[in-house]
Amino acid sequence: MESAIGHSPAASAASSTAPCAMPCAAPASGEPYLLTPGPLTTALSTRQAMLRDWGSWDGDFRAMTAQLRASLLEMAGDSAGDYDCVPLQGSGSYCVEAMLGSLLPRDGHALVLANGAYGKRIATTLGYLGRACTVLDKGDYLPPRGAEVERMLDADRRITHVVAVHCETSSGILNPLEEIAAATAKKGRKLLIDSMSAFGAVPLDVREIACEAFVSSANKCIEGVPGFGFVIARKRALQQAKGCSHSLALDVYDQWDVMNRTGQWRFTPPTHTVAAFLEALRLHQLEGGQPGRLARYSNNRDVLVAGMQELGFEPLLNARWRSPIIVTFFSPAHPSFEFARFYELMKEQGFIIYPGKLTVVDSFRIGCIGQVDEHVMRRVVQACARSLQTMGVEHAAPPAAALEERKALAQAA
């Protein structure tokens, strides 16, 4: 099936010269690289696609919305037509809340699989929504496993849904979605997935992962800009969601119904972001789609980790659970290391990194996604070395206790 990407009105707004899908030089205008899990460094042509204004009710923009939805369903593997795509204005957390509030019935009960900040945020969101939930909290180092899910579903028949985070970017864990989905289906429950930071690079094919719905965002692995996310859900689940939502703006059923009847968004759409996303989709396909993007991100991660380990840094996670999205590193034990100073030194050299989000150890994170390649990652390592030298940190080894804890947990897993 030939994709329509690149043939929309939005494509003509970008540069007439097709850009390289792989980054080769620094971002435009000397901007720093965003080594974060989204927003991230985007292609110049993606930004150029936003230079035209669009009428939100105009036929051209309706066609752009239809193309966006069809392209994402194709990426999700919906060959049978059982699912539909519902884009929603706002950040990823808006879309997660919309999915939970619309597709989890008010009398439902969720098992939330948490091993970081975003799993915990799901539990917090369910509390705001007045939905019952049970939390399996695995801490910062380990993923939830299918056998654990099975045991918890056997022990509590009240549970109707399992909610999982595909890639927990607070630590960088790539959770074993296949076994979680298999366990959930085996026990006759429904699976909702937060694939914010994974979809588009890490495989998520609805023909292989039995799920009721999943959500992702424009500004993650597809490398668009912030402004909207999307829910990909079974049509049956969308039909059953009528009247379930706690919110007018976050009602996935109503957004779906209006889009299918009119081709329009219910409320003012992020027109420029949609135009940029269509260009990002074109570049995604040009790179080889999901497999091509996964290969680049995985190589970015491997080059980064190898270089950082030569400096003495150690990643939080063992390689088995380390995602290609973002890597968390222990902060050095050296008394002269201070993250705030390290951050500013990295920024001065053109790299914006992320602080850690862990509860038990000091850490920081470096993203592997966006328009960056292995050459950029080598420059990142060089910048880290210079920053350490400036700070007077001779070696970046973490506290011995942190490594011992990681080793013990790995053996327990």
Query: How far lies 206's CA from each of 100, 178, 213, 408, in Å?
Result: 19, 11, 9, 35
* Residue 21 in domain: no
Q: Which of 228-237, 325-334, 395-404 has the lowest mean pLDDT?
A: 395-404
**Residues 280 and 293 grouped into a single domain:** no
pLDDT of 358 strictly over 90: no
291 cis-preceded (ω within 30 degrees of 0): no
Q: Do 307 and 375 touch, CB atoms closer than 8 A? A: no
**For the chain, how long is the longest CA-to-CA vector?**
64
Same domain flag for 344 and 269: no
pLDDT at 5: 38
Which of 226, 249, 284 is the endpoint of a domain?
A: 284
pLDDT bucket at 402, cuts 50 / 70 / 90: confident
Examine the domain organization and report whether 203 and 185 are in the same domain. yes
Q: Are residues 223 and 193 in the same domain?
A: yes
How many domains are contained in the chain?
A: 2
Q: Are residues 116 and 251 in the same domain?
A: yes
Which residues are paired to 191 by β-bridges? 162
Does residue 5 lie in a domain region? no
- Do residues 85 and 113 both lie within one domain? yes
Query: Annotated binding site for substrate, which residues?
Result: 365
CA–CA dist 174, 168 (Å, integer): 6
Q: Bigger pLDDT: 15 or 387?
A: 387
Please give the backbone phi and psi of residue 77, each rounded to the nearest 5 degrees, phi first: 80, 25
How far is it, in rounded angstroms, from Cα 200 to Cα 222? 6
Q: Phi, psi at residue 136, to the nearest 5°? A: -100, 105
Confidence of residue 141 (pLDDT cuts 50, 70, 90): confident
CATH code for position 210: 3.40.640.10
**CATH code of the domain containing 339:** 3.90.1150.10
Residue 198's Cβ-side half-sphere holds a number of Cα atoms within 13 Å equal to: 24
pLDDT of 13 strictly over 50: no
Closest among 351, 335, 333 to 387, alpha carbons compared: 351
Residues 273 and 302 in one domain: no
Q: Is 128 among the domain residues?
A: yes
Nearest-CA neighbor of 166 among 181, 155, 177, 158? 177
| 322 and 211 within one domain | no
Instruction: Give yes or no: residues 261 and 334 share one domain.
Output: no
Structural domain range at position 312: 289-412
Looking at the domain assignment, is residue 43 inside a domain? no
pTM score, whole prediction? 0.91
pLDDT of residue 411: 62
70 found inside a domain:
yes
Domain boundary among 231, 249, 284: 284
Q: Is the pLDDT of residue 21 over 50?
A: no
Binding residues: 365
Q: Please check whether residue 126 lies inside any domain of the structure.
A: yes
Domain boundary among 284, 300, 317: 284
Q: Supply 37's token pair.
A: 């899990």
- Which of 7-16, 37-46, 136-145, 361-370 has the weakest average pLDDT? 7-16
Q: Are residues 261 and 348 in the same domain?
A: no
> Tell me: the pLDDT tens digits for 189-212?
999 999 999 999 999 999 999 999
What mean pLDDT value characterizes the chain? 92
Q: Is residue 254 located within the same domain as residue 373?
A: no
Which tens digit of pLDDT belongs to each residue from 179-192? 999 999 999 999 99
Q: Looking at the domain assignment, is residue 2 inside a domain?
A: no
Q: Does 10 fall in a domain?
A: no
Same domain flag for 259 and 361: no
The lowest-confidence range among 2-6, 130-134, 233-237, 290-294 is 2-6
Q: What is the mean pLDDT of residues 324-344?
A: 96
Averaged pLDDT for residues 24-31: 62
